[in-house]
Amino acid sequence: MTTTAESRFGGMIRQAKADLVFFPGRFAMAWRVAALCALMTLVAMVYGIPESAISCYLILFVMKPDAVESMVMAIAVTILVTLVVGLVFLLIHFTLDAAPLRIATLIISSFLFLYLGSASKLGPVASIVALVIAFVMTLLSDVPLGEVATRGLLYAWLMAVSPMLLIIGFNLFLGRAPQRLLRVTLSERLLVAAEALRQLDASNLSKIGEQLQEGQSEHRKRALFVRIFHLRPVAEAKWLESAVQSSYRLLLAVSALPSTTPEKVRLELAAYCTEAARLVAAGQLAAEPHFTFRYESDVVEEIRNTLVALACPDPDQDPERPKTSFFAADAFTNPVHQRFALKTTIAALCCYLIYTALDWQGIHTALITCYVAALGTTGETVHKLVLRIVGCLLGALMGVLAIVFIIPHIAGIGELMALVFGGALVAAWVSCGNERISYAGVQVGLAFLLTVLQGFGPSTDMNVASDRVIGILLGNLVVYLIFTRLWPVAIVQSVRMRIGTALTGLANLAALSLGARSAALREATAIEAEITLARQELALVPFEPAQLRPSADERARLKAILEDVEKLCISLFIPTEKLASDVEKLRRLSIEGGSSLVSDGQYPEQESSPDDLTVQQRIKRLEALLGT
Cβ atoms of residues 353 and 107 within 8 Å: no
DSSP conformation class of 611: T
CB count within 10 Å of CB 187 equals: 18
**Residue 98, pLDDT above cutoff 80:** no
**Residue 322, pLDDT above cutoff 70:** no
DSSP conformation class of 141: G
Q: Band of the pLDDT at 4, cuts 50, 70, 90?
A: very low
Provide the residue type at 295 as one letter: Y
pLDDT tens per residue across span 344-387:
899 999 998 998 888 888 888 888 888 876 665 666 777 777 77
> What is the model's pLDDT at position 130?
83
* Bridge partner residues of 120 (DSSP): 327
> What is the model's pLDDT at position 294?
82
pLDDT tens per residue across span 157-166:
888 899 999 9
Chain centre to alpha carbon of residue 272 = 33
Residue 360, phi then psi, degrees to nearest 5 = -130, 75
- Tally helices (H) and strands (E) across the chain: 24, 0
Residue 604 vs residue 441, higher pLDDT: 441
Mean pLDDT over each residue of the chain, to the nearest integer? 84
Question: Nearest-CA neighbor of 303 among 238, 258, 240?
Answer: 258
- What number is the average pLDDT over the span 301-314? 88
Angle value at C-alpha 156, between 155 and 159, nearest 5 degrees: 85
> What is the model's pLDDT at position 263?
92
pLDDT tens per residue across span 507-551:
999 999 888 888 999 999 999 999 999 998 888 888 777 777 888
405's CB contacts (< 8 A; 6+ apart) are: none
**Residue 458, pLDDT above cutoff 90:** no
Residue 120, phi then psi, degrees to nearest 5 = -140, 180
606's CB contacts (< 8 A; 6+ apart) are: 556, 557, 559, 560, 625
CA distance 323 to 338: 25
pLDDT tens per residue across span 122-155:
777 787 778 777 877 776 665 555 555 677 678 7
- What number is the average pLDDT over the span 41-46? 90
Cβ atoms of residues 68 and 221 within 8 Å: no
**Residue 429, pLDDT above cutoff 90:** yes
CA within 13 Å, CB half, 8: 7
Q: Which residue ranges make up each domain of the chain?
A: 19-176+339-485, 178-311, 491-626
Beta strands in 54-126 (DSSP E): none
Cβ atoms of residues 334 and 450 within 8 Å: no
> What is the model's pLDDT at position 446?
82
> What is the model's pLDDT at position 5?
45
Cβ atoms of residues 442 and 436 within 8 Å: no
Percent of the chain with pLDDT over 70: 87
CA distance 486 to 481: 8
CA distance 168 to 170: 6
Q: Band of the pLDDT at 60, cuts 50, 70, 90?
A: confident
C-alpha dihedral, 254 to 256 to 261 to 264, nearest 10°: 0
Distances (CA, A) of 130 to 86, 443, 448: 14, 19, 23
CA distance 588 to 339: 32
CA distance 276 to 302: 17
CA distance 591 to 324: 24
**Three-class SS state of 120:** strand
Q: Band of the pLDDT at 1, cuts 50, 70, 90?
A: very low
Chain centre to alpha carbon of residue 138 = 30
Cβ atoms of residues 275 and 593 within 8 Å: no
Cβ atoms of residues 303 and 269 within 8 Å: yes
> What is the model's pLDDT at position 221?
92
CA distance 254 to 302: 9
**Residue 300, pLDDT above cutoff 60:** yes
Would you say how long the chain is, in residues? 628
pLDDT tens per residue across span 470-521:
888 888 888 888 887 888 777 888 888 899 899 999 999 999 988 888 899 9
Angle between helices 365-373 and 438-452 (to 10 degrees): 170
Sign of CA dihedral 197, 203, 209, 214: negative
- What number is the average pLDDT over the span 172-181? 93
Largest CA distance in the chain: 84
- What number is the average pLDDT over the span 550-562? 88
pLDDT tens per residue across span 243-255:
999 999 999 999 9
Distances (CA, A) of 475 to 108, 110, 374, 469, 470: 20, 16, 10, 10, 9
319's CB contacts (< 8 A; 6+ apart) are: none
Distances (CA, A) of 371 to 45, 71, 258, 540: 26, 22, 49, 21
Cβ atoms of residues 47 and 154 within 8 Å: no
C-alpha dihedral, 596 to 601 to 603 to 609, nearest 10°: 30
DSSP conformation class of 295: -
CA within 13 Å, CB half, 355: 27
